[in-house]
Structure 1
Amino acid sequence: MTTASLAAGTLSLLAPVASAAPCDPWPPAGIGGGSGSLGGSSGGSIGAPGRPATPWHDGGSGYIPVLEGRTTTVELLTGPTSPNNTVERFGIWGTDLGIMWENGGAGGEDQVHMALGDTMGDCDEPGDQWRSNILFRSGDRTLHDGMRIDNAPMERTGMAKSILPRSNMPGETTVIPTAGVEVGGVQYLRYMSVERWGTPGEWTTNYSALARSADNGDNWQPVSGTARRGTAPMPLPAELGEEFTRHTDGQMSAFLKHEGFIYEYLTPSGRSGSARLARVPEADIEDMDAYEYWTGTGWSDEHRDARPVLGAPTVNTAVSELSVTYSEHLDRFIALYNNRQNNIVMAQAETPWGPWSGEDIVVSYSQVPTLYGAFVHPWSPAVETDGEDLYYTMSTWDAYNVFLMRTDLSDIPPRNVPNPNARMRTTDDSWTRNTPDPADTGETVLVERRSLPGA
């Protein structure tokens, strides 16, 4: 943990609709809490029933959860006191998510791109300087002392722009990125159009679609023909053309590049679904007819044949805010996600389709009850090399900002893959069991809740 980091802590903006105003007073009328693009664990999503808020704006204070042990808090990446100075540089007081991927050297520089969700600036300004989403770029490979943000696509000096603005069509509250990947120097985002935020952990989507950027993330265009319809009835924006299909199980995504394929893990809107798996050759990422879906025994070109790989009753519980990568340290694929108990957990597998292991808690709900989202940094030593440290982002709805976290994978109990050819059952259940909460065992300790200043 870096104490210094923790302590230092021509596009017009669209006016926010009433159901998504991040600067509303705290707490929202009739609600016990909750803010965040993908949902607060305790008070619901960014508007259960539709009114996000930040406690520090109204005289309260969000806090930095200072963890030590197996998992540590590295720094506050965004917001007041962040060493990245996002308030002055980018007009960002509050934001969330932090979905990361490598840009493949686009623009002549190796960078990690970070997509963030609903973003607010100065709450005293008309419209709160609210944006549906923003993008950061970073070339920082030295993560033990934090992650420096190099730049962002800008609307003007001191104001990062919304890279995928809302359409302003009736029935659309916001547009949230859920996954990013680079193919052939082009950046791709999967994003969801949110109709409304509902009860805690639930929301309704109009559709999910791809957007592309050929200039290292500065400008983005929706890709026609890639929309998967959700349950809401809003017509598609004209630039998306005709919907590809109705696919309510495919509204949120996580991308994995592996052996010439893009693997796409699909979950429904909300936080209580299972993850299904699709794949497509990298060069065909924009061709929805080229996707095939894991059936449990093989691949089908029909998404209705897909079966859960994570989150089914016999696999784990529920999957939300999913991030998947390959770990050189473990020599396995790893998935980070929020489970039904709202812990951030890790599962392992030898192939992208599994079978996936039981869960290891990396951040406990009991220590950070306002957490959500966990997105792996692709330059983590445990990802790129045999190093032990896994870095990832985490959001909390009360601070309504993004943290950089670190987990030492050498402290995760080893798991042995069952031998399917064994003649006799063994007593080794290390692959399937869920390990104890490190908050209960003392492997991770909450040292302090360090208050953030009021806005």
Structure 2
Amino acid sequence: MTKTGSILLSALAGATALLLTATTPASANPNAINPFPVLNGSNGLPNLTGRTQAVFQVTGMASPNNTQSYNVLGTDLGIMWDNGSGEMLTAFGDTAGLGFPNLLAGSVWAWRSNILVRSHTQDPANGIFFDSVVRDVFGQARDLIPSPKIPFIEISRIPTAGIAVNGVQYMSLMSVHSWDDVGQWTTNYSGLAASGDNGETWAELPETRRPNEGANANFQMNAFMKDGGYVYEYGTRSGRNRAAFVARVRANDIANIAEYEYWDGERWKKDDVNAAAPIMFGVGELSVMYNQYLGQYVALTTDPFNSVVMRRAPSPSGPWSDPEVLIDTRELPSAYAPSIFPYQTGRDLYFLTTVHSQYNVILMRTTL
């Protein structure tokens, strides 16, 4: 959820020449050939000296997943969830490759707002390997929910959460109206899309849209968690350094906004989004999961200094602890959007995070 449009615009001046002169044969060493600065993930893994280590390049030309083979040179987010049958689905956000313009006049970049890959990796110690990707007729990763990509109308439609309920896949996406100051953007609305064929095709659910106004503005960026028959939805306003709120709904009613309950600080109130009270402050993109090793709920996000942090709580509604730094911003200032690996791995907590300096996604490991 970064200013991908700005990234692509700044690349336009040299992109045509690159298309004419650069090749990337399958046997080429991407660390030696770097025709697409920033967007190719060929800078190597960052060397972190704190409690977190970078363990695997998930996307980009240096990734064993060879994402360039389906025209993914740069991407962000990496939102993971189990499809209900032991397979992991991962949705990525704004994704750059080469191709015909699909957005900006004169652009040579193929820009997709939401793509999806599948994996059977449940032990990520040696990396996360993709089995398949949702492709277009040319074999390239394709948009799941297309966006017109018109500034100040809808510049992008970005996934922020995913979950499976009764064999149906659901994604929460935000409709981005405009990119504003660094770390800030304005949305039109958030809403759900659903897939009955394991993420191959998707349909919007317009009745689930939350307009970016009133208290619904507090649920523009979301994270999902299943617990006790409920789906918990953790929401923030668009942009980073925000307050977070929480709602819940019986899993079977996930597409019925009227059935959602909102935590007011003491109790749950049904169908009253205005009742939602903040549960934590100063957060960016959120990922929440129960951790069996700790016996607590954990939330990953970034703090106002752009460090990747973890908070703990005894229940889904909190109270949430003060943040613990997992990746200090002084070590990796361009990291954002940590997303928790959906399968338990004992004392090791694995998560994906985007490194904006190479605009690709990296697998991280923290020892709890």
TM bracket, shorter-chain basis: 0.7 to 0.9
Q: Which runs of structure 2 are paired with 1:93-112 in the superposition (5 Å)? A: 93-105=73-85, 110-112=86-88
Please say if 1:20 is aligned against 2:5.
Answer: yes
Task: For 1:371, give the aligned amino acid.
Answer: A
The answer as to 2:312 corresponding to 1:348 is yes
Which residue of structure 2 lines up, in the alignment, with residue 92 of structure 1? 72
Contact preservation (8 Å) 1:228, 1:246: no
Pairing partner for 2:38 from 56, 74, 81: 56
Q: CA deviation at 1:324?
A: 0.2
Structure whose alpha-carbon radius of gyration is higher: 1
Q: Distance in 1 between matches of 2:122 and 2:49?
A: 22
One-letter code aligned to 1:309: I
Partner of 2:21: none
- For the residues of structure 1 that align with 2:88 and 2:297, how far apart are their CA atoms? 20
Q: 2-side partners of 1:326 and 1:92: how far apart? A: 32
Distance in 2, matches of 1:61 and 1:171, equals 34
In structure 2, the partner of 1:140 is: 121
Task: Quote the sequence identity (%).
Answer: 40
Q: Quick check: 1:229–1:246 contact (8 Å CA) kept in 2?
A: no
- The correspondence of residues 273-352 of structure 1 with structure 2, limited to 5 A, is 273-301=242-270, 302-311=272-281, 318-352=282-316
Residues 25 and 57, structure 1, Cα contact 8 Å, conserved in 2: no
SS in 1 for 2:132: coil
Structure 1 segment 250-269 matched on structure 2, within 5 A = 250-269=219-238
Q: 2:358 matched to which residue of 1?
A: 399
Number of aligned pairs?
337
Residue 125 of structure 2 aligns to a residue in which SS? coil
CA shift, 1:167, in A, is 4.2
1:374-385 correspondence to structure 2 within 5 Å: 374-381=338-345
Q: CA RMSD in A?
A: 2.3
Give me the whole-angstrom Cα distance separating, in 2, the residues matched to 1:61 and 1:137: 23
Secondary structure of the residue aligned to 1:249 is helix
Instruction: Report the 3-state secondary structure (helix = DSSP H, G, I; strand = E; otherwise coil) of the residue aligned with 2:8.
Output: coil
CA displacement at 1:362 relative to structure 2: 0.8
2:200 paired residue number: 218
Structure 1: segments with no counterpart, 5+ residues: 1-17, 29-53, 232-244, 312-317, 382-386, 410-455
Q: SS state of the match for residue 218, structure 1?
A: coil
Is 1:183–2:178 an aligned residue pair?
A: no
Matched letter for residue 296 of structure 1: G
Quote the residue 2:96 is aligned against: 120
Alpha-carbon shift at residue 68 of structure 1 (Å): 4.8
Q: Is the 8 A contact 1:21 1:130 kept in 2?
A: no
Residues 53-88 of structure 1, C-alpha deviation per residue, up to 9 Å, x if partnerless? x84369x97553122563111111001111100001
- The verdict on how the C-alpha distance between 1:230 and 1:127 changes in structure 2, with shifts beyond 3 A counting, is farther
Unaligned runs of 5+ in 2: 14-35, 102-106
What amino acid maps onto 2:316 in structure 1? P
Matches of 1:144 and 1:203, distance apart in 2: 35
* Contact map agreement 2:154 2:175 (CA 8 A) in 1: yes
Structure 1 residues 168 and 121, CA, compared in 2 at 3 Å: closer, same or farther?
closer
Q: Does residue 153 of the first structure (1) align with residue 134 of the second (2)?
A: yes
When normalised by structure 1's length, the TM-score is 0.70
Residues 375 and 394 of structure 1 are in contact (CA less than 8 Å); yes or no, is this contact kept in structure 2?
yes
Relative to the length of structure 2, the TM-score reads 0.86
Q: Relative to structure 1, is the Cα distance of residues 19 and 201 closer, same or farther in structure 2, using a 3 angstrom cutoff?
A: closer
CA contact (8 A) 2:279 2:320 kept: yes
Note if contact 2:42-2:62 (Cα within 8 Å) is conserved in structure 1: no
How far residue 23 of structure 1 moved from its aligned partner, in angstroms, is: 3.2
Shift of 1:399: 0.3
1:218 & 1:141 partners in 2: Cα distance?
A: 21
SS in structure 2 of the partner of residue 378 of structure 1: coil
C-alpha distance in 2, partners of 1:360/1:192?
A: 28
Give the AA of the match of 1:397.
H
Match of 2:218 among 239, 249, 272: 249
Helix, strand or coil: the match of 2:206? coil
Separation in 1 of the partners of 2:4 and 2:344?
37
How far does residue 192 in structure 1 lie from its aligned partner after superposition? Answer: 0.3
Write the letter of the residue equivalent to 2:185: W
Q: 1:127 to 1:165 in 2, by over 3 A?
A: farther
**CA 1:127–1:27: 2 relative to 1, 3 Å:** closer
